[in-house]
Structure 1
Amino acid sequence: MHSVDVSIIVIYIVLTLGVGIWISKRASKGLDSYFLGGKSIKWYYLGLSNGSGMFDVSGTTWMVGILFLYGAKSFMFMWLWPIWNQIFIMIFLAAWIRRSNIMTGSEWILTRFGDDKAGRASHLIVAIFAIVASIGFIAYFFEGVGKFMTIILPWDFSLMFNDAVILTSDQSYALLIIFLTTIYTIKGGMFSVVATEVLQYGIMVIAGILIAVYAFITVTDIEISNIISTEWSNIFFASQIEDTWSGKYEAFNNLIDQQGYKMFGAFIGMSLFKGFFASIAGPTPSYDMQRILSTRSVKEAAYMSGFTNLVLFIPRYLLIGGIVVLALAYIAPEMIASNQLNLDDLEIILPKVINFHVPVGIKGLLLAGLLAAFMSTFSAFVNSGPAYIVNDIYKKYFKQNASNKHYIKASHIASFVIVVIGVIMGFFAESINSLTLWISSALYGGYVAANFLKWVWWRFNGWGYFWGMTSGLIIATLQFLLDQNKANFEIGTWLYDLAQIPAIYIFPLIFGVSLLGSFLGTLLTPPTNMETLKSFYRNVRPWGLWNPVFKALKNDDQNVRKNQDFALDMLNCMIGIIWQSSMIVLPIYFMIRDYPKTIWTLVVFIVTSLILKYTWLDKVRKLPN
């Protein structure tokens, strides 16, 4: 590390801590101020903050490896999360959620199912899910930032005792960065999180542009065309992936076989199936939902969600595309020459490129940008998770009438506890990829069925929600335990065979069990109180199977109108997915110098933007402020 690069990183860390602590005084007025910024933050700041929170270093490391191996069609791997969620939120869910005017996702559940035993059971299970998800993501960040920092920085921070390793160097680095981020996040709540994330977003954009320009200048068109095949740059696919790599690079095709996604048609079919239901289920109870609830109005919630899509993907994929171009030119020949390819090599492509193939100055800015990516996402989860502990469990069931000062202190403690548990879980994580698949395919699989039904079916009640979520989470947890212990099973046993199935293919089982739990829990118990349903429908105005509630409401108020926007919303979602995908593919084609496809992708982006202007944006503008 050159002193210039070290200085840039130190300045960035000091600046971030300074801004976070300086603005933290605004968070001491109460829980609403601490967790939602008093619903006073402008939508474009929240949109930048939301985009920054999704720009994490672990995810970026994973995406670099996936783009390197699979080429342009790798953008479909993003559907695992699923990123369509952002489109569905933008088109209609942001408005539905923001109309509730509450603090957390689990508190929102009470407006749907009421505050009786069934409602409280559903409220409690979604709070538990939010806490577990926050802990899982902290473990994911811990694993990613530790590996990243160890390869980049030259100092060995291993901690030894009696010749035994107490902490590895990557664990020590991760603990240090997490400690620094936790300081301002706990102290300042949403105000500090948003302020620092806007700063961090600017640094990430600068880093992305610089690395893209550097890759464009140093790697020629001929060098790229000599490495990548026609299939690598093709976004269309058959049932199987064939010949993504050719010539002396054919060995990379073996890595595709090892990862279990060679049957690409089946993988994409499963991703589409999961993507639709997971997206219509709405945002998970985490930082994304907190941003929606933090906006000043329903209109601004929609603006913020659309703006998040616009500011996130192009800068992020300029950075990813630039790194991959450098990797293709410099790392790919080294990997082939080593003759020992394995999937773990994909996770170190990003730090290897930065360490050996990026010049002084740009390296420091890029490292600061990736540190910013980590810190922004980490702080978002540290802010969102404790809201469920304090507001939805502690305040509701244990200490209902304490002072604001007491609740803020409880929030500090809850944040600290979540970080500690997440870090402990991170110590036992196998890899970034295993955590990615557990969170995206298994854990979120348990969330989807119940949260899909809550929007579209009036008869679905609190007990159905509770048992749907619970059964899904149990199966998801069992799947995770199987995956973590697959090396211990005897080859040929049914447990061994089950543990080898990629997590995405387990999703239908998790979804089916969760759906069964949802239906049984609903049909074997009484429906939700009609007054609660009428209040929810009047406020949120969803489309779906709500006729009995609408008729009951119509008897009270003849001016009530049914939401008939289902067809338009679904059309806008389809257009939005194409719009979103074009923003991912556009920087990739630009960076690999495939100019005809770059122009076509740009045309798709412009056309879909114009369509959404008339079919979505003009409609949002008519919403009340």
Structure 2
Amino acid sequence: MNSIDVIIIALYIILTVGVGIWVSKKASKGLDSYFLGGKSIKWYFLGLSNGSGMFDVSGTAWMVGILFLYGVKSFMFMWLWPIWNQIFVMMFLAVWIRRSNIMTGSEWILTRFGDQKAGRASHLIVAVFAVIAAVGFIAYFFEGVGKFMAIILPWDLTLQLGELMLLSSEQSYALIIIGLTTIYTIKGGMFSVVATEVLQYGIMVLAGLLVAGYAFFAISDVEINNVITAEWRNVFFGWELETHWTAKYQAFNDLIDSEGFKMFGALIAMTLFKGFFASIAGPTPSFDMQRILSTKTVKEAAYMAGFTNLILFIPRYLLIAGVVVIALVSLSPEMIGNVNLSGADLEVLLPKVINFHIPVGIKGLLLAGLLAAFMSTFSAFVNSGPAYIVNDIYKKYFKPNASDKHYIKASHLASLALVSLGVFMGFFADSINSLTLWITSALFGGYVASNFLKWIWWRFNGWGYFWGMLSGLIIASLQFVLDQNKGNFTEGTLLYDASHVQAIYLFPIIFIVSLTGSFLGTYFTPATPMDTLKSFYKSVRPWGWWGPVHTALLKEDGKIKKNTDFWKDMLNCAIGIVWQSSMIVMPIYFVIRDYPKALISLVIFIVTSIVLKYTWLDRVEKIID
């Protein structure tokens, strides 16, 4: 690595840690100040922070790989999460969540189910879920950033004591980066996280522009067109994937066939099914929910959610598309020579491009940008996880009347414990992929049904929520265990067949089991007290089956209106998904020089933006906080 690149990375780290510590003095006023920034941070700074937190390194490397192999339509793989849950948050969920005026996602649950035994059971399982998810993500980041930095940076940081290896180079890099990020995150809470993430977002945007610009000027149209086909450029699809690569690159076609996504129509149908329920369920209790709760007003929560969508995708996909174009021209011939080509080869495309095909200066800025992507996502989880430990467990059940100073110290200790546990798990993780599967299937798979029902059905109670979450998590965990042990089952047996099914196709089973737990838990226990339901409905005002609660409120206040905006919100979500998709494919088409499709994408972006101005923004501006 050139000394200029090293200096750029060093300056970035010094600047980030310095800014984080400099603003940390604002966080000492209490828990609200520490975890939510005292609800005083501007909505556009929170939006930049939220977008920055979603710009992670491991996800970027994965997106580079799937765009390289599958072409433009690969952005739909992101629907597996689904990425357009942020559109649902923008359209109506941010408003519903912020109206609660509380600190964490599990504390929010008490406003829905009350503070009795049933409510506390549901409250506790969300807090535990949030803490486990935070630990899992920290382990995921530890594994991911270590591997990435060890490939990129030239120094071997292995620590040995005689013949005994204490730390691998990957682990040493991960500990250094995590240690630096933890210092300012613990000290400054939300203020430090937002300040550094805004800085990091600027660096990531600059890196994306420089890499896309370099790919644009260093690689000719002819070189690109010699590699990619019309199908690679095509955003539309049939039931089965068509041939993406020419005969010269047949190994890539074979890899697509072996990946398990050949039936692309079925995959997209299942992602739409899962995505609808997962999106209405709302954000998981992590950093994006903290950003919503940190806004000054309900109106600003909606602005922040919309702004997050607007600023995230174009710079991120400029970076991804730039790296992919360089990889297509520079690395495709080398990869074709690999007789054992697999999906693992796609994961190292990003570091390979950075190591050998990015010029001095741009390389340093790109590495600083990717380091910023890691640090921003990591710090967001380190800030959100301890809020559940301190506010929802320690303060509520153990020490409810301590001073603000005591709770801040408890938050520091909780953050250190959370990071330590996550790092410990990271040391024993088999791979990034196994951690990703555990988080997305076992954790998030069991989350959907209960959190979908909590919004739309008045009779759904705390015990229904608890048993729905628990049953969903158990069955999703069994699916994960099967996947991890699929090499141990005899071919032709039921266990072998079940273990080789893609996780997305098992979602209906997880969903049905969780729904069953939700309904049984609800019908075998008493309803939530009507006073709690009336308070919740009056403040949040969701749509759905709330007839008895609305009728009871009408007797007290004849002017209260029922929320009938379901179809308006769903139409806005459909428009929003098209709007979001245009911001993803537009930079890809520009970077690969397919100008007609790039212009079509730009027109779609402009038209949908204008439509949303009237159907969404004007409605938000009429909200009375």
Normalised to the residue count of structure 1, the TM-score between the two structures is 0.98
Q: Which amino acid aligns with 1:319?
A: L
Is 1:550 the counterpart of 2:553? The answer is: no
| Paired letter, 1:312 | L
What is aligned with 1:452? 452
Residues 515-554 of structure 1 aligned to structure 2 (within 5 Å): 515-554=515-554
Matched residue SS, 2:337: helix
Give the Å deviation of 1:490. Answer: 4.0
Taking the TM superposition and a 5 Å limit, the aligned residue runs for 1:130-209 are: 130-209=130-209
CA contact (8 A) 1:442 1:504 kept: no
Q: Which region of structure 1 is more displaced relative to structure 2, 483-492 or 316-325? A: 483-492
Distance 1:235 1:421 in 2: 42
Q: Which amino acid aligns with 2:282?
A: G
The CA deviation at 1:26 is: 0.5
Structure 1 residue matching 2:102: 3-state secondary structure: coil
Q: 1:126: Cα distance to partner?
A: 0.6
Aligned twin of 2:561:
561
Aligned residue for 2:331, secondary structure, equals helix
Q: Confirm whether residue 382 of structure 1 aligns to residue 367 of structure 2.
A: no
Deviation string 1:153-176 (CA, Å, 9 cap, x unpaired) is 111112234424332221221111
- With over 3 angstroms needed to count, the CA separation of the structure-2 counterparts of 1:555 and 1:86, relative to structure 1, is same
Q: Tell me: CA distance 1:31–1:456, structure 2 relative to 1, closer, same or farther (3 Å).
A: same
Q: Distance in 2 between matches of 1:300 and 1:559?
A: 26
SS in 2 for 1:543: coil
Question: Structure 1 residues 72 and 433 mapped into 2: Cα distance closer, same or farther (>3 Å)?
Answer: farther
Matched, 1:414 2:418: no
Separation (CA, whole Å) in 2 of partners of 1:584 and 1:444: 24
Which letter maps to 1:296? K
- The residue that corresponds to 1:266 in the other structure is 266
User: 5+ residue gaps in structure 1?
Assistant: none
- 8 Å CA contact 1:442–1:510 kept in 2: the answer is no
Give, in whole Å, the separation in 1 of the partners of 2:558 and 2:92.
24
Pairing of 1:228-247 with structure 2 (within 5 A):
228-247=228-247
Verify the 8 A CA contact 1:62 1:433 in the aligned structure 2: no
Would the aligned equivalents of 1:243 and 1:250 in 2 still touch at CA under 8 Å?
Answer: no
Q: Determine the C-alpha separation between the residues in 2 that align with 1:432 and 1:254.
A: 24
Q: Is contact 2:98–2:301 with CA below 8 Å preserved after alignment? A: yes
SS at match of 1:165: strand
Distance in 2, Cα, partners of 1:417 & 1:501: 36
Letter in structure 2 aligned against 1:380: A
Q: Give the letter aligned to residue 369 of structure 1.
A: G
Cα distance in structure 2, aligned partners of 1:624 and 1:555: 23
- Pairing of 1:270-349 with structure 2 (within 5 A): 270-349=270-349
Paired with 2:475 and 2:381, the residues of 1 have a C-alpha distance of 24
Structure 2, unaligned runs of 5 or more: none
Hey, what does 2:437 align to over in structure 1?
A: 437
For 2:342 and 2:155, locate their aligned partners in 1 and report how far apart those are by CA, in whole Å: 26
What SS does structure 1 have at the residue aligned with 2:23? helix
**Is the contact made by 1:442 and 1:506 (CA closer than 8 Å) also made in structure 2?**
no
SS of 1:231 mapped into structure 2? helix
CA–CA distance in structure 1, aligned partners of residues 563 and 225 of structure 2:
52
Amino acid at match of 1:499: S
Deviations 1:41-62 (A, max 9, x none): 0000000000000001111011
Q: Where does residue 92 of structure 1 map in the other structure?
A: 92
Aligned to 1:596: 596
User: For each residue in 1:305-332, what CA deviation from the matched residue of structure 2 results, as whole angstroms up to 9, or x when unmatched?
Assistant: 0000000000000000000000101111
Aligned counterparts, 1:491-510, within 5 A: 491-510=491-510
Q: Distance in 2 between matches of 1:156 and 1:222?
A: 40
Deviates more, 1:354-363 or 1:588-597: 588-597
Partner SS, residue 179 of structure 2: helix
Which residue of structure 1 lines up, in the alignment, with residue 359 of structure 2? 359
Q: Which residue is 1:465 aligned to?
A: 465
**8 Å contact kept, 1:241–1:264:** yes
- 2:17 corresponding residue in structure 1: 17
Contact 2:437 2:480 in 1 (8 A): no
Quote the Cα distance in structure 1 between the aligned partners of 2:130 and 2:192: 21
CA pair 258-433 structure 1, distance change in 2 beyond 3 A? farther
Amino acid at match of 2:123: H
Q: Within 5 A, what are the aligned runs for 1:219-230?
A: 219-230=219-230
Rounded to whole Å, the distance in 2 between the matches of 1:261 and 1:441 is 17
AA matched with 1:230: A
Instruction: For 1:431 and 1:229, locate their aligned partners in 2 and report how far apart those are by CA, in whole Å.
Output: 33
Kept in 1, the 8 Å contact 2:441–2:477? The answer is: no
Q: Distance in 2 between matches of 1:532 and 1:606?
A: 44
1:437·1:504 contact (CA, 8 Å) conserved in 2?
no
* Separation in 1, partners of 2:557, 2:7: 66
Offset of residue 436 of structure 1 = 2.8
Aligned counterparts of 1:245 and 1:139: Cα–Cα separation in 2:
36
| Residue of structure 2 equivalent to 1:56 | 56
Contact 1:80 1:440 in 2 (8 A): no
CA contact (8 A) 1:207 1:362 kept: yes
Partners of 1:426 and 1:162 in 2: CA distance = 24
Following the alignment from structure 1 to structure 2, what is the Cα–Cα distance between the partners of residues 575 and 441? 28
Query: Which deviates further from its counterpart, 164-173 or 182-191?
Result: 164-173
Aligned pairs, how many? 625
Q: Please state whether the residue corresponding to 2:29 is helix, strand or coil.
A: coil
Q: Is the 8 A contact 1:200 1:373 kept in 2?
A: yes
Q: CA deviation at 1:507?
A: 1.4
Q: Say if 2:27 and 2:191, in contact at 8 Å, map to a contact too.
A: yes
Give distance in 1, aligned partners of 2:54 and 2:322.
19
**Separation of aligned partners in 1, 2:284 and 2:600:** 34
Counterpart CA distance in 2 for 1:430 and 1:270 is 28
**How far apart in 1 are the matches of 2:483 and 2:144?**
19
- CA deviations 1:509-534 (Å, max 9, x no partner) are 11111111001000111100000000
Name the CA distance, whole Å, in 1 between partners of 2:408 and 2:524: 41
CA distance in 2, matches of 1:39, 1:192: 14
Deviation of 1:277 after TM superposition, in Å, equals 0.4
The Cα offsets for residues 422-470 of structure 1, whole Å up to 9 and x where unpaired, read as: 2222233333333333323442110000000000000000000000001
Letter of the structure 1 residue corresponding to residue 419 of structure 2: V
Tell me by how many angstroms 1:492 deviates: 4.0
Equivalent residue for 2:482? 482
Q: Does the 8 Å CA contact 1:430/1:484 hold for their aligned counterparts?
A: no
Residues 112-123 of structure 1: pairs in structure 2 closer than 5 A: 112-123=112-123
Query: 1:514 corresponds to which residue?
Result: 514
Is the Cα contact below 8 Å between 2:208 and 2:315 reproduced in 1? Answer: yes
SS state of the match for residue 166, structure 1?
A: strand
Tell me if structure 2 keeps the 8 A contact 1:152–1:354: yes
Distance 1:33 1:165 in 2: 43
Q: Which residue type is aligned with residue 140 of structure 1?
A: Y
Task: Out of 52-61 and 489-498, give the one that drifted further.
Answer: 489-498
One-letter amino acid matched to 1:548: P
Segment drifting more, 307-316 vs 419-428? 419-428
What TM-score results when the alignment is normalised by the length of structure 2? 0.98
Which has the higher mean CA deviation after the structures are superposed, 135-144 or 223-232?
A: 135-144
RMSD: 1.2
Task: Describe the SS at the equivalent of 1:250.
Answer: helix
SS of equivalent residue, structure 2 residue 226 = helix
Quick check: 2:35–2:383 contact (8 Å CA) kept in 1?
yes
1:253 maps to 253
Deviates more, 1:250-259 or 1:326-335: 250-259
